[in-house]
Amino acid sequence: MEYTAKSIANLISGEIIGSPNTKVTTISKIQEAQKGALSFLANPAYLNYLNTTKASIVLINKEFVPKERIKPTLIVVDDSYKAFATLVNLSQKLKNVELSGIENNSFVHKEAILGENVYIGAFSYISQNAVIGDNVKIYPQVYIGENVEIGENTIIHPGVKVYHDCKIDKNCIIHSGVIIGSDGFGFAPQKDGTYLKIQQIGNVVIEENVEIGSNTTIDRATLGSTIIKSGVKLDNLIQIAHNVEIDQNTVIAAQTGIAGSTKIGKNCLIGGQAGFVGHIKIADKTNIGAQAGIVKSVKNEGTILLGSPAFELTKFHKSYSVFKNLPEMRNEIEDLKKQIKLLEEKLGTTNK
């Protein structure tokens, strides 16, 4: 699609420096952009590219406005990165609006309920009593189980599997390979050394405006629900076990593992490869560093944790100042032991 500088500026409340009739048809990085591309400048480290870029339009922060005339048309805003993200989101929404209808080789059960303007890609399977809201986009090779509910404007990318009875609210984005509602890891040990499977009869509930990265798995509850609350953002390759609850607007990076029945509060930031034991509670606004091991509940809001097992930031820094020097300290202790031994031998008091 083609956009003018004027139409773009109107969308993001920007001020134009240059021709309002400049047109763009694509989006590119400022250092790679060619004629007809829209780009943005948010990081001062890239200021030099403003003079060399071939982009036709560049979004720019007010503090970066050059004194001399440059080639691209500029659109000046308070936050160019935010403005750029807004435009990209609008562009993607327009693309998704164009998708509609049921493609060949897909299956929709006669008792499934579809809203208006739904798209279902080829080789997808929509089970009995599934309820699909208005403007939902289901890409190819998706499985939607019995009694699943999907809210309006949600996008489900190729290869997603949503097991029976799970619920996904409106405006969610589920990326390729995600599995929602597979069995929780529940087995009871027996006297003969074998394990008895505990049937997982709960479900998964995902509230509105949640985004889930590729190949993340969210297990169904043993009883009740595994709950992902509104605004949560999950990266790729995350494992969320049965009966976990993640509260609003928490962000979790890739390869994190959360054991069963753990409750994570609102607005938490969790780094990649963090691990949580089960049956603990994490206070709101907790920040957890990458590869941290969380082995007990966090009670105080705003706590920052590092390490494995994890402990509070100030204590971690104090400890780090010690353990980073352990090799040198060990050598010093060994030298002292040798000196003490020599001294004892001279004094004739060697311990036997």
The three state secondary structure string of 108-140 is: ECCCCEECCCCEECCCCEECCCCEECCCCEECC
pTM of the model: 0.82
User: What pLDDT score does 113 carry?
Assistant: 98
Query: How many angstroms separate the CA atoms of 59 and 68, rounded?
Result: 17
Sign of the CA dihedral 15, 19, 23, 27? negative
Q: Are 278 and 259 in contact (CB under 8 A)?
A: yes
Each domain of the chain, given as residue ranges in start order, spans: 3-98, 160-309
Q: What is the pLDDT along the chain (352 residues), one digit of tens a residue?
A: 789 999 999 999 999 999 999 999 999 999 999 999 999 999 999 999 999 999 999 999 999 888 888 899 999 999 999 999 999 888 777 666 667 899 999 999 999 999 999 999 999 999 999 999 999 999 999 999 999 999 999 999 999 999 999 999 999 999 999 999 999 999 999 999 999 999 999 999 999 999 999 999 999 999 999 999 999 999 999 999 999 999 999 999 999 999 999 999 999 999 999 999 999 999 999 999 999 999 999 999 999 999 888 888 777 777 777 777 788 888 889 889 988 888 888 887 655 5
160-309: CATH superfamily: Hexapeptide repeat proteins (2.160.10.10)
Known catalytic membership, residue 242: yes
Q: Which among 219, 141, 208 is positioned nearest to 173, based on CA atoms?
A: 208
Q: Considering the candidates 175, 242, 279, 317, report the single residue annotated as catalytic.
A: 242
Q: Are strands 3-4 and 23-24 parallel, antiparallel or unpaired?
A: antiparallel
Q: For the domain 3-98, what is the CATH code?
A: 3.40.1390.10
- 236-241 contacts, C-beta under 8 A, 24 or more apart: 236/175, 237/213, 238/213, 240/216, 241/184, 241/185, 241/278
The two counts, helices (H) then strands (E), for the chain are: 5, 40
Name the CA radius of gyration of the chain, rounded: 28
User: What pLDDT score does 215 carry?
Assistant: 98
The residue behind tokens 């040990």 is: 189
User: What pLDDT score does 96 carry?
Assistant: 65
Q: Do domains 3-98 and 160-309 have the same CATH topology?
A: no
Helix (H) or strand (E) holding 336: helix 326-347
User: What pLDDT score does 332 carry?
Assistant: 87
Q: Are strands 161-162 and 245-246 parallel, antiparallel or unpaired?
A: unpaired
User: What pLDDT score does 97 carry?
Assistant: 64
